[in-house]
Amino acid sequence: MENLNKITNKYINNYIKNKYVLEFVNKSAELCEPDKIYFCNGSEEEKKFLTGEAIKTGELIELKQEKFPGCVLHRTAINDVARTEHLTYICTTKKEDAGPTNNWMAPKDAYEELGEYFRDSMKGRTMYVIPFMMGVPGSKMNKIGVEITDSIYVVLNMRIMTHIGRIVADDIIGDNFTKGLHSKGDISLEKRRICHFPEDNTIWSINSGYGGNVLLGKKCLALRIASYLGRKEGWLAEHMLLMEIQTPDGKIFYVAGAFPSSCGKTNLSMLIPPESLPGYKVRVLGDDIAWMYIGDDGRLWAINPEAGFFGVVPGTNMKTNKNAMLTIQKNTIFTNVLLKEDKTVWWEGMENPPDKGIDWKGDAWTKESKEPGTHPNSRFTTPTSQCPALSSEFSNPKGVPVSAVLFGGRRGNVVPLVYESFNWKHGVFIGATLRSETTAAAMGLGKIVRNDPMAMIPFCGYNMGDYFAHWLDLGKRMKFPPKIFFVNWFRKNREGKFLWPGYGENLRVIEWIIKQCDSDNNNKEKEAVETPVGYVPEIDAINTKGIEISKQDIKELLSIDKNEWLEEADEVEKFFSKFDRMPKELTKELNDLRERLKNSK
Ligand code: SAT
Ligand code: MN
pLDDT, tens digit, 9 for 90 and up, residues 476-488: 999 999 999 999 9
CB 407, CB 428: distance < 8 Å: no
Q: Which residues contact 177 (CB under 8 A, 6 or more apart)?
A: 20, 21, 131, 144, 145, 146, 201
Distance 308 CA to ligand 1 centre (A): 13
pLDDT of residue 527: 95
Q: What's the pLDDT at 11?
A: 59
Residues 6+ apart with CB under 8 A from 484: 404, 405, 406, 407, 420, 421, 424, 426, 427, 428, 430, 431
The answer to whether residue 188 scores a pLDDT higher than 90 is yes
Q: Which ligand is nearest to the CA of 377?
A: 1
Among protein residues, the one whose CA lies closest to atom 2 of ligand 1: 212
Kindly tell me the sign of the dihedral angle through the C-alpha atoms of 393, 395, 400, 402.
Answer: positive
pLDDT at 310 over 90: yes
Indicate the top mutation candidate among 162, 215, 221, 261 to test ligand 1's pocket, ranked by most ligand atoms within 8 A of CB. Answer: 261
Q: Does residue 109 surpass a pLDDT of 90?
A: yes
Give the pLDDT band of residue 270 (cuts 50, 70, 90).
very high
**Whether residue 518 has pLDDT greater than 70:** yes
The gap from C-alpha 11 to its chain's centroid, in whole angstroms, comes to 32
Residues 6+ positions from 482 with CB-CB distance below 8 Å: 256, 299, 300, 402, 403, 404, 405, 517
Query: Among 419, 448, 428, which residue's Cα sits nearest to residue 436?
Result: 448
Query: Which residue among 76, 81, 83, 158 has the greatest number of ligand 1 atoms within 8 angstroms of its CB, and so is best to mutate?
Result: 83
- Tens-place pLDDT, residues 217-229: 999 999 999 999 9
Say if residue 558's pLDDT is above 70. Answer: yes
Write the pLDDT tens digit of every residue in 240-267.
999 999 999 999 999 999 999 889 899 9
User: Comparing C-alpha atoms, which of 544, 545, 256 is closest to residue 401?
Assistant: 256
Question: By alpha-carbon position, which residue is closest to atom 1 of ligand 1?
Answer: 212
- Residue 171 has a pLDDT of 82
Q: Are 62 and 72 in contact (CB under 8 A)?
A: yes
Confidence of residue 594 (pLDDT cuts 50, 70, 90): very high
Alpha carbon nearest to ligand 1 atom 6, residue: 261
- What is the tens place of the pLDDT at every residue in 158-187? 999 999 987 787 788 899 999 999 999 999
Q: What CATH number is given for 309-383 in this structure? A: 2.170.8.10
pTM for this model (two decimals): 0.97
Identify which ligand lies nearest to the alpha carbon of 240. Answer: 2
Q: Which ligand is nearest to the CA of 376?
A: 1
**Sequence letter at residue 61:** I
**Cα separations (Å) of 188 from 77, 78, 105, 193, 363?**
10, 11, 20, 10, 21
Which are the contacts of 501, defined by CB distance < 8 A and separation ≥ 6? 547, 549
Q: What is the largest CA-CA distance in the chain?
A: 76
pLDDT tens, residue by residue, 119-156: 999 999 999 999 999 999 999 999 999 999 999 999 99
The pick from 84, 134, 154, 218 for probing ligand 1's pocket by mutation, whose C-beta has the most ligand atoms within 8 angstroms, reads: 218
Q: Using 50, 70 and 90 to split pLDDT, how confident is the model at 585?
A: very high
E strand or H helix at 11, and its extent? helix 11-14
Beta bridge partners of 356: 366
Please tell me the distance between residue 589's alpha carbon and the centre of ligand 1 in angstroms. 31
Question: Considering only CA atoms, which residue is closest to atom 4 of ligand 1?
Answer: 212
Q: Locate the ligand 1 atom nearest the alpha carbon of residue 441 and give its number.
A: 7
pLDDT at residue 432 is higher than 70:
yes
pLDDT mean over 404-413: 96
3-state helix, strand, coil in the chain (%, to 5): 30, 25, 45
Q: From the CA of 83, how far away is ligand 1's center (Å)?
A: 7
How far, in Å, from the CA of 514 to the mean position of ligand 2? 24
Half-sphere exposure of 440 (CA within 13 A, CB side): 13
| Element spanning 338, H or E | strand 338-340
Which CATH entry fits the domain spanning 237-304+394-599: 3.40.50.2000, 3.90.228.20, 3.40.50.300, 2.40.160.20? 3.90.228.20
Q: Which CATH class is domain 2-39+84-233?
A: alpha beta
Edge-to-edge order in the sheet of strand 300-303 = 236-238, 290-294, 300-303, 400-401
Ligand nearest to the CA of 288: 2
Cα-to-centroid distance, 267 and ligand 2 (Å): 12
Cα 316 from Cα 318, distance rounded (Å): 7
Mean pLDDT confidence for 16-32:
94
Does the pLDDT of residue 12 top 70, yes or no? no
Provide the annotated active-site residues. Answer: 263
d(CA 25, CA 600): 63
Whether pLDDT at 54 is above 70: yes
Pocket of ligand 1 (CB under 6 A): 83, 211-212, 218-219, 261, 310, 441
pLDDT tens-digit profile of 320-342?
999 999 999 999 999 999 999 99
Cα of 260 vs centre of ligand 2, distance in Å, is 7
If phi over 0 gives left and psi between -120 and 50 gives alpha, with beta otherwise, what is residue 352?
A: left
Domain boundaries, the chain: 2-39+84-233, 237-304+394-599, 309-383
CA–CA dist 72, 65 (Å, integer): 9
